[in-house]
């Protein structure tokens, strides 16, 4: 019999902010800390076979810097999440899900409401978008991403963020939102994330 704790909704924290704010860097660090499980929708999308029907749609939208349609996004994400859980890589009774890149608009928040219980939203605040664009330019040289290579696509992603993603901040109650200064060095960003995350895991997964 599966434990009650393994059923929906899964307890989650969202890592939220403009492209280039360093969400993936922090997610990669935190996922090696016991108690956290990081999933990035962008990373999931890039792992799909680009020749598959979903892979083709995803590539088409992301190459333009636009959001992939919500039905495809949520279905691919939930399938991936369940596969990780079934393989016991993600253990909902012990690990806080750290989501990066999803939900990315208010409709996705509504579609995911019954699957995830958002305990915390870490808002990576950045007052210098040109610095973020510069970070993405440097990353393009390292990562071979279709959406990083062309600066007009990068700028389009910022427009889409302001128009479609920023309203997600108002969907969740103010009490779960914490602002993190993403212009700091990665170690300082990590310290600030942990200050908010540790009390959440202590509360969600008490030691017997």
**What does DSSP assign to residue 165?**
I
Residue 147 C-beta: closest distance to ligand ADP, Å = 5
- How open is the CA angle 12-16-20, to the nearest 5 degrees? 135
Residues lying near ligand ADP in the complex (CB under 6 A)? 19, 41-42, 45, 61-62, 65-68, 73, 101-102, 104, 108, 147, 157
Please say which residue, 161 or 201, places its beta carbon nearer to ligand ADP. Answer: 161
The least CB distance from residue 130 to ligand ADP, in Å, is: 16
Nearest approach in angstroms of CB 167 to ligand ADP is 14
Alpha-carbon distances, residue 39 vs 28, 42, 112, 174, 197 (angstroms): 9, 9, 14, 23, 16
Give the shortest CB-10-to-ligand ADP separation in angstroms: 16
Q: In what order do the strands lie in the sheet with 36-40?
A: 36-40, 96-100, 10-17, 116-125, 177-181
> From CA 165, how far away is CA 103, in angstroms rounded?
8
Provide the minimum distance between the beta carbon of 48 and ligand ADP in the complex, in angstroms, as a whole number.
11
Q: How far is CA 45 from CA 31, 58, 136, 176, in A?
A: 18, 7, 18, 27
Nearest distance, CB of residue 92 and ligand ADP, angstroms: 20
Whole-angstrom CA distances from 177 to 53, 150, 172 are 36, 32, 8
Q: Which of 148, 183, 166, 186 has the alpha carbon at shortest distance from 27?
A: 186
Q: What are the backbone dihedrals phi and psi of residue 81, each rounded to the nearest 5 degrees, phi first?
A: -60, -45
Residue among 15 and 197 whose Cβ is closer to ligand ADP? 15
Closest to ligand ADP by CB, 92 or 101: 101
Identity of the residue, 16 or 90, whose beta carbon is nearer to ligand ADP in the bound complex: 16
- Which lies closer to ligand ADP via its Cβ, residue 65 or residue 201? 65
Comparison of 104 and 123: residue with beta carbon closer to ligand ADP: 104
Surface-to-core class of residue 203, CB atoms within 10 Å of its CB (0-12 exposed, 13-18 middle, 19+ buried): exposed
């Amino acid at each position: 019999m599966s434990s009650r704790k393994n059923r929906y909704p899964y307890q989650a924290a969202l890592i939220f902010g403009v492209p280039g704010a360093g969400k993936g860097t922090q997610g990669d660090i935190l996922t090696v800390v016991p108690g956290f499980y990081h999933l990035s929708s962008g990373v999931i999308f890039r792992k799909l076979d680009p020749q598959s029907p979903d892979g083709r749609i995803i590539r088409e939208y992301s190459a333009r810097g636009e959001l992939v349609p919500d039905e495809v996004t949520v279905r691919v994400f939930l399938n991936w999440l369940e596969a990780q859980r079934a393989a016991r890589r993600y253990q909902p009774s012990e690990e806080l899900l750290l989501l990066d890149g999803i939900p990315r608009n208010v409709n996705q928040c509504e579609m995911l409401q019954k699957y995830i219980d958002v305990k915390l939203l870490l808002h990576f605040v950045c007052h210098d978008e040109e610095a973020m664009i510069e970070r993405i330019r440097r990353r393009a040289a390292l990562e071979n991403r279709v959406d990083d290579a062309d600066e007009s696509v990068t700028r389009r992603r910022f427009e889409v963020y302001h128009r479609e993603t920023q309203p997600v901040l108002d969907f969740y109650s103010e009490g779960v939102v914490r602002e993190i200064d993403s212009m700091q060095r990665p170690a300082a960003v990590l310290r600030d994330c942990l200050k908010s995350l540790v009390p959440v895991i202590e509360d969600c997964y008490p030691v017997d």
